[in-house]
Structure 1
Amino acid sequence: MNRPRNRGWPLVVPLAALLVVLLVGGACAPRPPSMPVSRPPQVVDLGLLARRLAAMQPGWPAPAPDCRRDRCVALTFDDGPGPHTGRLLDLLRARRARATFFVVGHMVAAGRAGLVRRIAQEGHELGNHTWSHAALTALPDDRLRRELLRTGDLVRRLTGVRMRVMRPPYGMTDGRVARETRRQGMAQILWDVDTRDWRDRDPADVTRRAARASPGSVVLMHDLHRATVRAMTGVLDRLSRRGYRFVTVSELAGGGRRASAAKR
């Protein structure tokens, strides 16, 4: 006896195909435009964006400070380069801080030409601090002239930089020293904040005294001393929290601040 044939089977394929067409067609069918979503206008802080880019990309140039508007301070280092100057440069580079280094000629000549080149290459300013760190007011005219010229010539040969600023050792100056300095195309730079790091080799004391800076201050330190370099993280942190930008003395002067400060 023959079994009856299943007459419903031929309908399965067309119905399944129809279902697929409906599903796919529904997915592909154009959708009605969505209602616009109201969003508040976005305000872009370009300064913040630049700082974030700088943090993400080492070497990204930070915007140049305008010391007529920004809170600027000039960190200055005398008597080097010395055995701790390299570490100091590492700290400044990590914080994108610029400084001014008043170098002594005989220290440069004592096998530290590479450090002087690095100071210039990393955007810091080089200043003349004489050849032998002599008290200029006590020297005859010819030796006063040589103290400045000899250091200036050496730094220029090594780096191509003609120094435009000078600091007299011990802050000792007079009209004669000022005239010779001008004759050699330099400005005298003293200071208004003395950390006394040459006397008190205590990082906490150096940090506390440097933090007394006000907008436009020139801070005196010495890169010869390990304690000074150890203090730099605290100095940079405390002044940064107060909104200071770290600039060279020439940038400070160019931004409308004083070019030199009276010694206290």
Structure 2
Amino acid sequence: MRGRAGVVVALLGLVLAAGCAQSAVQRAEPTRARDAGKRTGDPSPSASAEPEPDPDPATTPAAHENHLVPQRDEPGPSPDEEPPAPPPARVDCSVRKCVALTFDDGPGAYTGLLLDRLRAARVHATFFLLGQNVAGHRDLVRRMVEEGHEVGNHSWSHPDLTTLPTWEVRAQVRRTQQAVQDVTGVAPALFRPPYGAVDERVANAVDMPLILWSVDTLDWLHRDVRRNITAGVREPRRGGIVLFHDIHRPTVAAVPSVLEGLRERGFTFVTVSELFGGRPLVPGHRYAGR
């Protein structure tokens, strides 16, 4: 009897030991799961790539504009050094395959980021500014000129000039000329009519070369990064003028890929005046490309 009791006690001890070991394993599993969760999953906001500036209320993009196409890493300045602004272009566009990128309706919430990207890529562009936006972005307008971009007049408030009396057309042009010159010391030499709407009366009232475009990317309508890249890379032809709008986030997000794609196609980037070899353009005449 004493022998059988000893065996029973031993068996009970083994059962209890196994149960304790299993409980210990079960207690450890949630801890390992929590630790694994810290090592995987989406990056924290602090690890996100490039912060976008807050949009102006008047130009807040649609929700789908936040889904940007991943871009290749761009060469950026070290913390203590900014990349130099590209020198003025000395390009013979009768020989080289030139294209002029133009940006309308700014300055706006994303113009500073666009200038950063153009500077990093050592590219000059042409900005057609709204006079009413100049006062709130004086530093950006000054920076455009300092970094070698061309600044043009796009009217004061973007009306269809063909619907206005002649005196008001002139006022739209004159007020914008003055606003830009007050900030930069440079008066724009080129005018882009809002909507491309111009007739003989308006042309005479503006009395500046009228710059239209050969490629309308329709970035203002679709506001889609991939579509902007496709239109911006595939549609330009030699001597072309490409229309973008720097007040839209998807446009600025697309620019690095557009620049890369056009360079792969052999294009050289110039301002509108450089596209025409710096020769004087005729006031009232319309230009949509070289």
Does structure 1 conserve the Cα–Cα contact (< 8 Å) formed by 2:177 and 2:187? yes
Confirm or deny that 1:196 pairs with 2:218: yes
Residue equivalent to 2:261: 238
Residue equivalent to 1:175: 200
Code of the residue aligned with 2:186 in structure 1: it is V
The partner residue of 2:115 within 89, 93, 99 is 89
SS at match of 2:113: helix
Change (3 A) 1:62 1:144: closer
Q: Larger Cα Rg: Structure 1 or Structure 2?
A: 1
CA shift for structure 1 position 87: 0.4
Residue equivalent to 1:66: 92
Residue equivalent to 1:210: 232
The separation in 2 between residues aligned to 1:63 and 1:117, in whole angstroms, is 19
Change (3 A) 1:260 1:120: same
Change (3 A) 1:254 1:142: same
CA shift for structure 1 position 254: 1.7
Does structure 2 conserve the Cα–Cα contact (< 8 Å) formed by 1:202 and 1:227? yes
The partner residue of 2:101 within 75, 84, 102 is 75
Residue equivalent to 1:137: 162
Confirm or deny that 1:122 pairs with 2:144: no
Q: Deviations over 1:150-184 (max 9, x none)?
A: 000110111011111000001100001111222xx
Q: Deviations over 1:239-260 (max 9, x none)?
A: 011111111101101268x971
The partner residue of 1:98 within 117, 124, 141 is 124
The partner residue of 1:108 within 134, 142, 158 is 134
Change (3 A) 1:235 1:106: same
Does structure 2 conserve the Cα–Cα contact (< 8 Å) formed by 1:164 and 1:187? yes
**% same residue:** 51
Does structure 2 conserve the Cα–Cα contact (< 8 Å) formed by 1:165 and 1:189? yes
The separation in 1 between residues aligned to 2:129 and 2:186, in whole angstroms, is 13
Change (3 A) 1:61 1:136: closer
Does structure 1 conserve the Cα–Cα contact (< 8 Å) formed by 2:155 and 2:172? yes
Does structure 1 conserve the Cα–Cα contact (< 8 Å) formed by 2:86 and 2:122? no
Does structure 2 conserve the Cα–Cα contact (< 8 Å) formed by 1:68 and 1:255? no
Q: Which runs of 5+ in 1 are unaligned?
A: 1-56
CA shift for structure 1 position 236: 0.1
SS at match of 2:181: helix
TM-score normalised according to structure 1 size: 0.73
Query: Aligned Cα RMSD in Å?
Result: 1.8
Does structure 2 conserve the Cα–Cα contact (< 8 Å) formed by 1:77 and 1:222? yes
The separation in 1 between residues aligned to 2:94 and 2:157, in whole angstroms, is 36
Q: Deviations over 1:207-249 (max 9, x none)?
A: 1111210110000000000000000011000001111111110
Q: Deviations over 1:188-224 (max 9, x none)?
A: 0000101100011111101111121011000000000
Does structure 1 conserve the Cα–Cα contact (< 8 Å) formed by 2:161 and 2:202? yes
SS at match of 2:268: strand
CA shift for structure 1 position 97: 0.6
Code of the residue aligned with 1:112 in structure 2: it is H
The separation in 1 between residues aligned to 2:172 and 2:86, in whole angstroms, is 39
CA shift for structure 1 position 61: 4.0
Change (3 A) 1:63 1:117: closer
Does structure 2 conserve the Cα–Cα contact (< 8 Å) formed by 1:192 and 1:218? yes
Farther off after superposition, 189-198 or 60-69: 60-69
Aligned length: 201
Code of the residue aligned with 2:254 in structure 1: it is A
CA shift for structure 1 position 60: 7.0
Does structure 2 conserve the Cα–Cα contact (< 8 Å) formed by 1:66 and 1:255? no
Farther off after superposition, 210-219 or 58-67: 58-67
Q: Which runs of 5+ in 2 are unaligned?
A: 1-82
Change (3 A) 1:68 1:154: same
SS at match of 1:218: strand
The separation in 2 between residues aligned to 1:121 and 1:230, in whole angstroms, is 23
